[in-house]
Amino acid sequence: MSKSLSHYLGLVRFSHTLFALPFALSSATIAWSIESFRFVDLIGILLCMIFARSAAMAFNRLVDRHIDAQNPRTATRHLPTGLLSTRRVRAFTLLTSIGFIASTTLFLLREPPNFWPLILSVPVLIFLLLYSYTKRFTSLAHFWLGVSLMLAPISAWIAIVGLRELLPPVLLGAGVLFWVAGFDILYACQDADFDRKKGLHSIPARFGIRGALQLAALSHAFSLIFFLSLYWLVPQLNGWIYLIGVTAVVLLLVYEHSLVKADDLSKVNQAFFQVNIVISVGMFLIILAQILFRSDLNVTF
């Protein structure tokens, strides 16, 4: 049983939940500065994030299983090697999709009940699943993925606050969009030749490695602009802790780009996994510290 669980966790790269979850919690932390903290909201956000991401990743592995089998970099994944059967992964995708929709009903337990998460659950899930097809018809697939993760802070905000005062999660989400698109472009550089041969679309396949690195840097510049805009436009984050934190993110992104060269992609994985997890978790801790320092967090039991 533990071996099967390990296979499923590996299938969906469960550890990569740290890319999106901290930004959902960051948005929730800002929201709790104007709304009372409720444990049911926290549990609902955690379950929705885990189920939605698991469903999207499992579906992606299903849709791409034949492509993955032909790519030397991905040929050892669970479906190409037979570690998990197509039938089991389909069942897992269905169960996690149902789990995501069911988790949104937790927000009906609030007082007053919030129906928006349940109403928006199916459209959000469809958008997440459709990402798996994007590289078959557009080089902007990286930005579709960015929007998918952008939904994390926006959805967490709506789950707590509803549809009012959306500026904080939209600015945070826009930063996430360009941050994700930037590092996904870097990651896709590994498959540029393979994508061209198979007729798949990506920015590295279309513009070459050097052009892709430049577009990734531009995306990260836009990301920093949106993260910095929170300092001026969101009063809860108008403080020295947040400003120092964003400065650290700037340095981390500069370091990330220094690791990846047009003629040397050997450190792409280090840039992709290690640096970006530090950024996502770090941003959450920065936002939490800034709001606690200003005593704006509205905690009630």
Give the CATH number for residue 257.
Answer: 1.10.357.140
257 located within any domain: yes
298: in domain: no
The answer as to whether 104 is a domain residue is: yes
Q: Report residue 124 CA to chain centroid gap.
A: 13
Q: What is the 3-state secondary structure (H, E, C) of 89-154?
A: HHHHHHHHHHHHHHHHHHHHHCCCCCCHHHHHHHHHHHHHHHHHHHCCCCCCHHHHHHHHHHHHHH
Q: Confirm if 32 and 293 have CB atoms less than 8 A apart.
A: no
Per-residue pLDDT of the chain (301 residues; tens, 9 = 90+): 555 677 776 776 766 677 889 999 999 999 999 998 999 999 999 999 999 999 999 999 999 999 999 999 999 988 998 988 999 999 999 999 999 999 999 999 988 899 999 999 999 999 999 999 999 999 999 999 999 999 999 999 999 999 999 999 999 999 999 999 999 999 999 999 999 999 999 999 999 999 999 999 999 999 999 999 999 999 999 999 999 999 999 999 999 999 998 888 888 887 778 899 999 999 999 999 999 987 655 554 4
Q: What is the H or E stretch that residue 26 is in?
A: helix 17-31
Q: Look at residue 86 and tell me if it is in a domain.
A: yes
Q: Which residue has the tokens 């393979």?
A: 194
77 secondary structure, DSSP code: S
pLDDT tens across 249-283, in order?
999 999 999 999 888 888 888 777 889 999 999 99
Amino acid code (one letter) for 252: L
Question: What is the predicted pLDDT for the residue at 301?
Answer: 42
The predicted-structure confidence for 30-39, as pLDDT tens digits, reads as follows 999 999 899 9
Q: Which domain holds residue 173?
A: 2-293
Tokens of 31: 């929201």
Q: Which of 17, 44, 32, 26 is nearest to 173 (CA)?
A: 26
Q: Which tokens in the block code for residue 166?
A: 């959306």
Asked if the structure places residue 299 within a domain, the reply is no
Asked, for residue 225, whether it belongs to a domain, the answer is yes
Interatomic CA distance for residues 132 and 85, integer angstroms? 19
In a domain, 137, yes or no: yes
Q: Count of CB atoms within 10 A of residue 295's CB?
A: 8
Structural domains counted in the chain: 1
Q: Which two tokens stand for residue 148?
A: 């998918």
Cα dihedral across residues 43, 156, 59, 267: positive or negative: negative
CA angle 289, 291, 293 (to 5 degrees): 65
* Residue 24 resides in a domain: yes
